[in-house]
Structures are given as structure tokens and as C-alpha cells.
Amino acid sequence: MANHSVYFGESDGGLVLTNAILLYRSGGAAGQSGHGTPLAAPAFASIHGIVRDDLDRPTIAAGKPLSQAHLRHWTQALGRCVQPEILPDNVLVSHPEMLAWWTAEQVRTGYFALSNPPADLKALSGRTSVPVPYPAHLFIATRSGLDVYALPRSCRPTADTPVLHSPILNIFIEGKLCWGNIAKPKALTVASIADYESAVFDSWSTHPNPGQDLTLTGKGGLVRLWDALAAQRATRFPVRRLKPFLPGRRQARKPCGDAGVTVGDLIARGAA
């Protein structure tokens, strides 16, 4: 086995494999719940040193029960590896398992390469990049992907702010970004926000995803709306045409009396 020392540029001397923690559960239960949380069962943990044989291969040595003192020691050691940072105003949540932020409404360059454009389009009949207005947006990045929603107003949202379906063509009706061959950011950090936004705004839009036209009020559908905005050189997106986001509905029709989803609802759902 090769040398398992791992070196980082900012660490004096690098990081070397020194210990291993083994987790045990009764009944041979090795599964986990759908959210990565261990299933309820009696458990035991042991901590082991690492020894090397004559060929410098690491081996797990005999261990001892993992104690609260061990946990405090390693928690403090891991905490020293996390650098504090000042969060920009657009960040709503910064957590090891979630990053949430918003963007104000603005005119951006839109990239369109429609695979089957209607014959009567004025600006988007061929592959083109053109300035178009986008509404304010909410982004929630987790280990499972990126969720994208529109906001009703161009101001910092609160937990009670309702969310709308995004009109961006490469967003599934459930709110998730269709990555396709887009490179995924590897970290949930503030420094990754630009890469996430580039995946949304700088990729080529080829067609609406199934059900997306049902997230819009009025006639014409999303493609014709984007075409009209591009042809008119519009500077504001007609947010009133976006329907409230309702998860789990294949057809985004809001039944009478059905409450919409808020930013707080989405944050809680992503953290579950």
C-alpha cells in the first residue's frame, strides 16, 4: 500500500494518518436512513492507533472505547482546520451541509440554443446570446445538488418569504438544476457561489423541462416569454406570471386554499 500521508499547502508538515475510529451497531445493521443518519440501534465506538509494518504500510492497531475526552480532543482539532470567514450580504445560510443565498433581479446575458424552436420566434430562433432580465432568485446548494427558485421581490428574503417557480429553462419542475455535462462545484462554501451561479446563468438553454410551461400563467409558455423579453430588450422580468412553488405536484397548479412554500420551509426541508 502506498504512503497515506496527505499534504496540504497551508499545513506545516502536512497531515499524516494517525488514528482510526470504528463504529459498531448491534444486530449487524449496516444500513442508514435516507438522510444519512444511522438507524436507531445500540452502538459502540472504538479508537485505534495506526502502526506501520516493515514495508511502511499502515495497519489499524488494537483500540479502546471512544470516550467523551477523545471526542472533545478531535472536535477541537477539526475546528482548528476551519477558517472563519465574513459572509457577504447575499448569503442566507452557511453550513457544512448547506449553502443558501439570493441574487437580485438584473439583466444578464442569456444563452439560448433551442433544440426545436417554434417557427414564429423573433429573437431565439437560432443559437444566440442576448441580454434578458431575470427575477430575483433563491439558491440552495446541498450535497445532493442545487435547488433554484424565483423570489417575488428583489430584496433579501426572510424565512416567511414565499418562493416561486424559476423561469430558467434548465430547472426541473421540482426546483433542481439539470446539470447535464455542467461541472459541479466540489464544496459548499461562499467561494463556490460564483461557480454555482455560472452553472445556472452561463449554460445553454435548449428546451423547457417537462411540466415547466405549467409554472407560468398566461399564454405562450416559457420559450415564447423569453423570446419576447429578448426581442423587446426588456429590463424587468414579469414576476406576476410566475406561479407559487408547490413541491410534489407534477402540474404546478395551485388548488384553492393551498398555501405556498416559503424560504424557511425550503431551508428546513434541505436540513432534514
pLDDT digits (tens, 9 = 90+) for 31-55: 554 444 445 678 888 999 999 888 8
What does residue 166 show for φ and ψ, rounded to 5 degrees?
-75, 140
Cell 492507533: give the residue.
Answer: 49
Residues 147 and 230 in one domain: yes
Q: What's the number of domains the chain is made of?
A: 2
Alpha-carbon distance of 246 to 227, in angstroms, equals 26
Residues 99 and 213 in one domain: yes
Domain housing 66: 19-79
What does residue 34 show for φ and ψ, rounded to 5 degrees?
-65, -15
Contact in structure between 133 and 235 (CB atoms under 8 Å): yes
Confirm whether 5 is domain-assigned.
no
Confirm whether 86 is domain-assigned.
no
Summarize pLDDT for 108-153 with one digit per residue, the tens: 999 999 999 999 999 999 999 999 999 999 999 998 899 999 999 9
What pTM was estimated for this model as a whole?
0.71
Cell 422580468: give the residue.
Answer: 237
Residues 126 and 198 in one domain: yes
**pLDDT score of 69:** 86
Could you give the angle at the alpha carbon of 126 between the alpha carbons of 124 and 127, nearest 5°? Answer: 95
Residues 154 and 262 in one domain: yes
Confirm whether 137 is domain-assigned.
yes
- Residue 171: pLDDT band by 50, 70, 90 thresholds? very high
Alpha-carbon distance of 151 to 185, in angstroms, equals 24
Question: On the CB side of 136, how many CA atoms lie within 13 Å of its CA?
Answer: 15
